Amino acid sequence: MASISSINQFSRKIFRGSSLNSKSKLNAALSPVNRINFPAVPLRKSAKLKQKFTVGAVSEDEWGPDNEPAPPGVAVIDEKPSEIDILKKQLVDSFYGTNRGLGASSDTRAEIVELITQLEAKNPTPAPTEALTLLNGKWILAYTTFSGLFPLFSRGASLPLAKLEEISQTIDSENFTVQNSVVFSGPLATTSISTNAKFEVRSPKRVQIKFEEGVIGTPQLTDSIVLPENVEFLGQKIDLTPFKGLLTSVQDTASSVAKTISSRPPLKFSISNSNAESWLLTTYLDDELRISRGDGGSIFVLIKEGSPLLTS
C-alpha cells in the first residue's frame, strides 16, 4: 500500500493540474477573440410630446408596392383642415336649399351672417385691391342679401320652360372691367343677359363700378329633349309613344329657328342713368372664396369657378 504522504502528493498534483486547466479555459473565454459584446440598451424615459398628430390604423386594403400588405404598426399622419377651411365649408353648407338667399329663413340668415363675420375677421387678404390677381377670373354667386336680385330668382323658378342656371361675375384686372352675367336654360337652348362695367380702385378694399352697356346673348343650342316611354298620372300609366313623332317635329322646327337666331350677333344696348354706378367693398378674399358688401349693406358671397366648394 502506498503511504499517506504519497497519496497527498498525488492529490496535490491533480488539484494543481485541474486548477491550471480552469484558469486557462477562463482566460480563453475572456480573450478578445471569444468575447461577445452586447450593446447597451438605454432606458426609455417618459416624455410629454408637444406635437399633435392624427394617427390612423392601416387597413388590410392598403397594399405595398409588391402586392403585400403594409407592415403593421405604421402610423398615418393626416393634416387637419385649418379653421378657415372649416368655416368656409360650414358657410357653403348653410346655403343649401336657400336658392342663393331667396328662400333662407331668419335663423339660417343669422347663422350665415355669423359665419361671414368670423371669416371676415380672419381675412387672409386685408388689401384685396392690391392683390388683383386673386380677383381675376369668373366668380359664381352662391348667396346674396341683395333684394334687387330676388325677383329674378323667383321668376326663374316659376317659369316652367326656363331655368335660372347661373349668376356670375367675371373680373379682368388688367383692363379694369367687370361683367355680371345671368344664364337661363330652356328645353333646346341657353341664353344669357350680361352687363359690362369699368371699375376704379378707391381704397385697399373698395372699388367704384360704372356700368356701360347691357348684352343679350344669342341662344346656344343644347341637347334635344328625351321623352320617356310613359309617365304616371293619378295612379295611371300614360303611354307617350304616340307623342314621340309630334315631339320630334316640334324639336326640328325649334332647332331650325334657334340656329337662325344663333347666327346673329348679341344684342347690345347702352346704360346711362343714375343707377349706372355703385361701389363694392371686398371684406374677404382668397383663391376660391370672395365676400363683398355693396350699397345698402348687401352681402354677396361668390365662389371661384372650378373650386371644390361648388360641389361640396
163 and 273 in a single domain? The answer is yes
Whether residue 202 lies inside any domain: the answer is yes
91 and 232 in a single domain? The answer is no
99 and 198 in a single domain? The answer is yes
- Taking alpha carbons only, the member of 149, 226, 156 closest to residue 191 is 156
Place of cell 360650414: 90
CA distances from 49 to 52, 53, 73, 74 (A): 8, 10, 19, 19
Confidence of residue 136 (pLDDT cuts 50, 70, 90): very high
Total structural domains within the chain: 2
Residue 155's pLDDT is 55
Strand-pair partners of 63 = 69
Whether residue 167 lies inside any domain: the answer is yes
285 and 161 in a single domain? The answer is yes
Q: Radius of gyration of the chain from Cα atoms?
A: 40
161 and 286 in a single domain? The answer is yes
- pLDDT of 121 > 50? The answer is yes
pLDDT tens-digit map of 193-215: 899 999 999 999 999 999 999 89
Higher pLDDT among residues 245 and 87, named by residue: 87
- Taking alpha carbons only, the member of 206, 243, 207 closest to residue 227 is 243
Confidence of residue 161 (pLDDT cuts 50, 70, 90): low
175 and 260 in a single domain? The answer is no
136 and 253 in a single domain? The answer is no
Residue 80's pLDDT is 86
- pLDDT of 140 > 80? The answer is yes
Whether residue 259 lies inside any domain: the answer is yes
88 and 233 in a single domain? The answer is no
Confidence of residue 138 (pLDDT cuts 50, 70, 90): very high
Whether residue 65 lies inside any domain: the answer is no
Whether residue 19 lies inside any domain: the answer is no
180 and 281 in a single domain? The answer is yes
Residues 6+ apart with CB under 8 A from 215: 192, 193, 194, 195, 196, 266, 267, 268
226 and 89 in a single domain? The answer is no
Give the integer Cα–Cα distance in Å for 196 and 278: 13
Max mean pLDDT among 38-52, 179-193, 214-228 falls in: 179-193
pLDDT tens-digit map of 239-268: 666 656 655 665 666 666 656 656 677 788
171 and 258 in a single domain? The answer is no
- pLDDT of 142 > 90? The answer is yes
Confidence of residue 226 (pLDDT cuts 50, 70, 90): low
On average, the pLDDT of the chain sits at: 75
End-to-end CA distance of the chain: 112
Q: Which domain holds residue 125?
A: 83-217+266-311
